[in-house]
Amino acid sequence: MRNVNRFGYELFSDPILNKGTAFTEAERDAFALHGLLPPHIATLDQQVERRMTAFRNLQDDLARYIFLRGLQDINETLYYALLTRHLEEMLPIVYTPTVGLGCQRFSHIYRRPRGLYLSLPYRDQIAKILSQPRFDDVQTIVVTDGERILGLGDLGAGGMGIPIGKLALYTAAGGIDPSRTLPITLDVGTDNQALRDDPLYIGWRHERVRGAEYEEFVEAFVSAVEARWPHVLLQWEDFAGPNASRFLDRYRDRLCTFNDDIQGTAAVVCGTLLSALSAARQDLRDQTVVMVGSGGAGSGIAGLLVKAMVEAGIPEEEARRRFYLTGSRGLLVEGSNRLQPYQVPFAQPRSRVADWTVENREAIGLEEVIRHARPTMLIGVSGQAGLFSEAVVREMAKHVDRPVIFPLSNPTSQSEAVPADLMAWTGGRAVIGTGSPFAPVSVGGVQKRVDQVNNAYIFPGLGLGIVTAKARRVTDTLFLTAARTLAEMSPSRLDPNAPLLPPVSALREVSAKIALAVALQAHREGLAPDFDVDNAERLIAEAIWEPQYKTYHRAA
């Protein structure tokens, strides 16, 4: 039961409160809705059926994306009922790969405000903008500056589609109350000339601001968030690599914050790789990893896997030497002046490659790394389509019975390899995970599902656990806990031929278990001292928001 002080058209305009045709006769009397609605009184189930029929009748995924965004802006309960009941079908639309196209077309499909656009010319008004009473209960924020949207580059204000999509999954998969979420875009201009020339572009028409002015703007934003919501969970999303790593290092010990591209990706990859090792009947302590793409995401994955290896008994320095990270100029090697600070720990000593037969010792290529390092795992976060060539994959398959190959770049057009090719080049022996959805592949005449290593397996449950326990910080240990919990739910633990990940339809169950594990770990680390561990399961269950209509009464 809920007291409501809006009526008539004003009630319809609030997507959190709107029920559409599901307003009861008594509610239509109380809120002056007669005549504004047809006489039929629908149930939520009927509304879901009607919207699902309309959704499936649309001709392409962009139209479906626009349809769902429109529904979200009209009736959030119905929107999330649709998502939670059909999550496997909806996930590729509300997030990768279709969200990328939605961001590219964002200015052309823009209809009504959602979230906040904090533009640099109005930097002096950030605190005032955040102070609006409608944001009093916010507990989860996703923020982007639109510079590195998926593998699509600088999309400026159009990057808002990413925070909107991420928060939709926080609710649909994790059960976080949508009224307590807030998507934010830091609009500091764009270097995408086509956008600045587009008369329909909704963002600030200015070259992307960098340097001290940019840093001061981000600091002003973080300071305003700290003052407004001391206990909020702030997620950084799709910032350019150096900025992403720098802001994470700068703010992770100052407020409850994390970067999903770096840490969330690392956790889901780590969890899926642990599942892959179980399927391949291999031990983590025996792995050698080639990471193609040495930015924040690649270094983050390597860092979390090193932590897992250390916990498995390998000395840290030895664990780091198991990783061969490659970038646009080849293998990362010690002494190079082009290394970012977060790459330095993974640069191979020159003595390790001194006896390698290579064309250019200052730019050792991927196939050369594969031939000499003989990895058991090949992971791609490069954003370069087709980088895992037939020659590369066949070379790897010469040296390992069950090569673990994860082309993780998205959207689909940026994937380092196509799963069907990987299976063909390895004689069906590869253990595969992808960043984008792919059709099943045929292995020995049997259709096998391709696991999408999607961050949605991690961040919704992680977020739910953090906000429920009221954790003060987000540590790497919490991500490793989430990864291990995900691995424990892998179907391949019982059947090596089964998928590595639970089905997307089980994401709410996955998120609840991760939330519980994360909340308990946060308490053990002293990050959530007031969390009632004796009632942890009940508290997590009670925190999960369900898309159901409540009965409304007119507020006095």
Burial class from Cβ neighbours inside 10 Å (0-12, 13-18, 19+) for residue 279 reads: buried
- Helices (H) and strands (E) counted in the chain, each on its own, are 24, 16
Which two tokens mark 501?
């990940």
Give the tokens for residue 543: 């925190």
Confirm or deny that 246 is annotated as ligand binding.
Answer: no
Length of the chain counted residue by residue: 556
Q: How far apart are CA 554 and CA 556, in angstroms?
A: 6
Residue 454 annotated as binding site: yes
Query: What is the amino acid identity at position 410?
Result: N
Identify the DSSP state of 268: H
Is 352 one of the annotated binding-site residues? no
Q: Which residues contact 304 (CB under 8 A, 6 or more apart)?
A: 263, 266, 267, 269, 270, 476, 479, 480, 483
Which residue has 């250019």 as its token pair?
360
Within 10 Å of residue 534's Cβ, how many Cβ atoms?
Answer: 8
Enter the DSSP assignment of 349.
P
How far is the first Cα of the chain from the last one, in angstroms, to the nearest whole number?
Answer: 15
Helix (H), strand (E) at residue 139: none
User: β-strand 441-443 against 446-448: which pairing, if any?
Assistant: antiparallel
Facing residues of 292 across strands?
326, 380
The amino acid at residue 420 is: A
Count the neighbouring beta carbons within 10 Å of the beta carbon of residue 81.
21
Tell me which H or E stretch contains 446.
strand 446-448
Q: Indicate the pairing of strand 140-144 with strand 181-187.
A: parallel
Smallest Cα–Cα separation from 281: which of 492, 488, 451, 483?
Answer: 492
5 assigned ligand-binding residue: no
497 assigned binding-site residue? no
Q: Tell whether 29 is in a known binding site.
A: no
Which residues have a catalytic role annotated?
Answer: 95, 166
Pick out the residues of the known binding site for a divalent metal cation. 237-238, 261
Pick out the residues of the known binding site for (S)-malate. 148, 410, 454
Pick out the residues of the known binding site. 148, 237-238, 261, 410, 454
